[in-house]
Structure 1
Amino acid sequence: QSRDPFELMEEIENVLGIRSYPMNWPIGTEGNFKGVYDRSTRQIEAFRGGNHGRSKVDATIGSPEDPKFQELLGGPLYQQLREEIELLDGAGDEFRMEEVLDGELTPIFFGSAMTNFGVRTFLENFLRMAPSPSNRTTSQGTVSAESPSFSGFVFKIQANMNPAHRDRIAFIRICSG
């Protein structure tokens, strides 16, 4: 079940105590999800197809100023998108990568893995934004990110997620190798 994107952003900010920045914006919700608006390129990506992730999605990409999108999305949905873009541009945070790396701002992406809508955009941005490996200082010296030997450090251990199992999972940040 989908929720209002503004409510989702507010919940993320309240629960995590971090400001959020939508990198894209959903066009429609749930059964009427038509695509996303990419805020960095200022382009609409209207989706068709998807076949529940089993095939490549057909997309029409272009400027919100292009009249074909009013017809493609429908008048009311198109008008709602225009109003939400204006609100985000006027009242929202500015995206600064330094704030993301400092843990002060989190990028938010909208899409649907079930229908393969927006997944490619998310992955491309994730690769672009993710920090490169860097040297790590340990109690035994510095581990070079270029070292051929595998090394990593456990930064979180989670257990008992399912009462029916004796489960444990360790989250490891790979440092080299």
Structure 2
Amino acid sequence: MSHEQEAARRRTFAIISHPDAGKTTLTENLLLAGGAIRAAGEVAARGQARRTTSDWMKIERDRGISVSASVMTFEFDGLVFNLLDTPGHEDFSEDTYRTLTAADCAVMVLDAAKGIEPQTLKLFEVCRLRDIPIVTFINKMDREAQDPIALLDEIQDKLQLDTSPLYWPAASGQRFSGMMDLHKQEFCVFERKPGEAPKIGESERIAGDEASLKQALDESVFEELSEGAEMATSLLPEFDEQSFLDGHMTPVVFGSALRHFGVLELLRTLHAYAPPPRDQKAEKKGEPITVHASD
């Protein structure tokens, strides 16, 4: 395979989030979904000494945070993904800014209960300077969350970013039942099995028609989903790939990284839309040069 072909199938992305929004858990579950690691060691922010693939330094284990950038590579569906792990903690932002200059795309992880937090905003600004396309993952839907429309409004207001949900959640917290794939009109079922390890890979899908949903969902959950999905499709713009690549629009996926729900859907979204490496402008001995993607 030539350098050009090899570069064309590479997707390099970073994850930006506020500490504790679930970035390390999502990183680990993306690696699991991509088959790069076999078992997840849940990352406890309370500093238990369980090691995860990306938080490898002792200081990270002690404090339960990511402090150094590392690259994790995995293959998924014919493409090679480089996941750049960025320190989320504000003390280590220099490293993060450097890492973001190497990313062609970013996944912004938001805690569904908290929305946009200060560190997310800071990191987003760095992405904005370079027009890095952003995919949004709204995490922790299996806990009590803000209203999804309110979360998307906040992204629109604070980041001036059009939001286009590809999925729509069915309630949150104890009532969280899954999410509707708005393009395929299929419903991804969230299985809550206490004490059981979450299933890696596909979540069960059922037809998204009214009869199937009414059979599968609690009545109040069904009503909440129908109303929300209708508002989302009528009020929010249709996903536009060019607008996403230009850094003006973000596709949105909901889920729970800890329960491995929505992770494969996020990976598929990256597979479908994340751009291959672009030629980058740089300086060599004071002279402006272009570094080509295949270099």
TM-score grouping bracket, smaller chain normalisation:
0.7 to 0.9
1:9 aligns with 2:152: yes
Structure 1 residue 102: Cα displacement? 1.2
Deviations 1:75-105 (A, max 9, x none): 2211221222222222221110111111211
Other-structure match for 2:198: 55
Other-structure match for 2:79: none
1:21 aligns with 2:164: yes
| TM-score (ref. length: structure 2) | 0.46
Other-structure match for 2:229: 85
Structure 1 residue 50: Cα displacement? 6.0
Identical pairs, percent: 27
Deviations 1:7-60 (A, max 9, x none): 101111111111111111111111111101111212111121466894316743
CA gap of 1:76–1:51, structure 2 versus 1, over 3 A, is: closer
Which of 1 and 2 has greater Rg? Answer: 1
CA distance in 1, matches of 2:195, 2:262: 13
State the Cα RMSD in Å.
Answer: 2.2
Q: Identify which of structures 1 and 2 has the higher relative contact order when contacts are C-alpha pairs closer than 8 Å and 6+ apart.
A: 2
CA distance in 2, matches of 1:53, 1:137: 49
How many aligned residue pairs are there? 147
The structure 2 residue matched to 1:105, chosen from 243, 246, 249, is 249
Quick one: which amino acid aligns to residue 189 of structure 2?
A: A
Quick one: which amino acid aligns to residue 60 of structure 1?
A: E
CA gap of 1:69–1:59, structure 2 versus 1, over 3 A, is: farther
| TM-score (ref. length: structure 1) | 0.73
CA distance in 2, matches of 1:55, 1:29: 18
The structure 1 residue matched to 2:290, chosen from 132, 142, 149, is 142
Counting strand residues as a fraction of each chain, which structure ranks higher?
Answer: 1
Structure 1 residue 121: Cα displacement? 0.4
The SS at the match of 1:82 is helix
> Is residue 23–residue 107 contact of structure 1 (8 Å, CA) maintained in 2?
yes
The SS at the match of 2:271 is helix
